[in-house]
Structure 1
Amino acid sequence: MPSRFGIALAVILSAVPMVAAAAPVRVVSMNLCADELVLRLADRDQVLAVTYLAQDPRGSTVASEAVGLPVTRGLTEEVVALKPDLVIAGAFTTRTTVGMLKRVGAPVLELGVPADLDGVRAQIRQVASALGHPERGEAMIATLDARLAAIVPARKPLRALVMRPNAFTVAPGGLGDALIRAAGLVNVSAEIGRDRFGEVPLEAAALSNPDLIVVDGGTPGWPSLADTLLHHPVFKALALAHRTVDIPNRFWTCPGPQVAEVVARLADAANAQAPRP
């Protein structure tokens, strides 16, 4: 039996008219990756609110653009109170809120997780079109493609191992894997049998003998237990024996023009790598 709160909320939601306009003028973003595309593609006065994550420079590439905008934590009441005519959400986040919004007929656009660069381009076009600015999407894609075209891929197919916070790696078959391959490198995680949620034990990292180790060095002054791996004696010895490349996780997390920075840094590090004996 539904709770009194649930019944009351349903009554409130049913009383709020939410009709999508041809070109939305009241947009709420409920996902960090949606935030990044919305803030780059929409007019500022279109954006009613973004997530609280958008303003955190440790994980967001649009922190400066998000300054001054209202933020939400993905609660249904917060979104409904704003009376948006478009809500953009991720396919795997804020599921309860998205489900409730759909039940009352709110216009919700759910974004998937691109697995390659073509998927990135498609998602940019999808969001730009939904916002009523398809030409901005094409301009963003042109910028992305120009940046990628200027990158010199690795001259040799060196083997790269990504060690994210808590030793999570980049899954074979995902966008991160596609970026590694776009740089002309080999993703070591595929060799050691890690899946998309797999952690890499230090022993496996050491025995994999990679040419490059990719880490997120973190933000100075923001210590985290997730980064203790970087200070482990085994990892320090591994880093001394191989080239370590620092690429902040915010460049990998979401589809957008920033992914070209990952490809560029990987390729530059590979081309600067001296031949190993």
Structure 2
Amino acid sequence: MTPLSAPCPAGMAGFVLAVATAIAVALGMPAGPARADTAAPRRIVSMNLCADELVLRLAEPGRIVSVTALSQDPEQSTVAEAARRYPANRGLAEEVIRMEPDLVVAGRYTTRSTVDLLKRVGIEVMELGVPTTLGEVEAQIERLGRRLGAEARAKALIARLREGLADLPQAGSGQAPSAIVYRPSGFAVGKGSLIDTLIAAAGLRNLAAERTLDNYGYLPLETLVTLAPDILVLNAEPGAPALAHEMLDHPVLEGLDGKVRTVPVPPRLWTCAGPAMIEAVAILKAAARATEADR
């Protein structure tokens, strides 16, 4: 007898596709390439935390079928209370298909196999990118609002963003306080990221960007000490025990003792592009003003 072997990835993918197609056919859904519809969707499933936040702010509540579990966690989401009104999905193609959505909103980094599979069984998937500028944030909100038939809500959200950021200073000049957003893993936020844009919007200089770090790059603690930023921004809740705060006790950082202002910013405020960014920038702006006052 020939021993059984584990199915190869291609075979498993084919099996999953067959199951998903069978589910789609059983539910009366077209088993073929997805075609974008111009009508406002009536059954929306979101498969990405940042997509959740925009869908929950823009779509009519009765049209939302499911959001991700991450959006229901108040430590990670700014819309946790609203998200808990809906069933959570794990981003699996089979479960999403059973929800019979006419639109799935996903992110650029949503599991590609799931996104591709949903498209192959005829479900429209709208993929959201990762904005790096405020203009791109507005364009994404406008695009999603148009597809959801929620143009008025999208315009109102954009207006809210503009109003909240209206009195911000220009991008940090050479005399502006310097800052580094540092993660316990040793990564700093560089140029080409939305957080870099927000740092500049708050009137700060991003030292990591000036060192030509792109997006998120590795920055050794020794280099951090050498750069000696005026402000060290930690992705953490204020006062909460976290690895980010424990990092401050590292012996290498003794050289910064008393010379740097540490500012915690809850990650949920700027992980996604939305109105919570206003609060994140306000925190940075307050730190910039306090630093300038101490000079």
**Structures share a fold, TM > 0.5?**
yes
The yes-or-no answer on 1:139 pairing with 2:148 is no
- Deviation of 1:31 after TM superposition, in Å, equals 0.5
- Deviation of 1:247 after TM superposition, in Å, equals 1.0
- Deviation of 1:8 after TM superposition, in Å, equals 3.6
Q: 1-side partners of 2:198 and 2:111: how far apart?
A: 27
CA contact (8 A) 2:46 2:52 kept: yes
The yes-or-no answer on 1:2 pairing with 2:11 is yes
Q: 2-side partners of 1:239 and 1:262: how far apart?
A: 25
Equivalence for 1:149: 166
Q: Could you say which structure has the greater relative contact order, defined with CA pairs below 8 angstroms and 6 or more residues apart?
A: 1
- Give the one of 270, 273, 276 matched to 2:288: 270
- Deviation of 1:190 after TM superposition, in Å, equals 1.9
Mean Cα deviation higher: 212-221 or 113-122: 212-221
Q: 1-side partners of 2:201 and 2:74: how far apart?
A: 26
- Give the one of 167, 190, 195 matched to 2:186: 167
TM-score, structure 2 as length reference: 0.85
Equivalence for 1:25: 42
1:254 aligned counterpart, secondary structure = coil
Q: 1-side partners of 2:245 and 2:92: how far apart?
A: 30
- Give the one of 68, 84, 94 matched to 2:85: 68
Larger gyration radius, structure 1 or structure 2? 2
Q: 2-side partners of 1:70 and 1:261: how far apart?
A: 28
- Deviation of 1:225 after TM superposition, in Å, equals 5.1
Gaps of 5+ in 1: none
The yes-or-no answer on 1:102 pairing with 2:119 is yes
CA contact (8 A) 1:35 1:50 kept: yes
Mean Cα deviation higher: 147-156 or 67-76: 147-156
- How well do the aligned residues superpose, as a CA RMSD in angstroms? 2.4
- Structure 1, residues 20-63: CA drift from partner, whole Å, max 9, x if none? 47111100000000000011111211110001100111111111
Letter in 2 for 1:9: V
Mean Cα deviation higher: 242-251 or 196-205: 196-205
- Deviation of 1:2 after TM superposition, in Å, equals 2.1
Q: 2-side partners of 1:122 and 1:193: how far apart?
A: 27
Identity %: 46
Q: 2-side partners of 1:43 and 1:231: how far apart?
A: 48
Gaps of 5+ in 2: 1-9
Structure 1 consecutive aligned stretches of length 4 or more whose deviation exceeds 6 Å: none
How many residue pairs get matched? 276
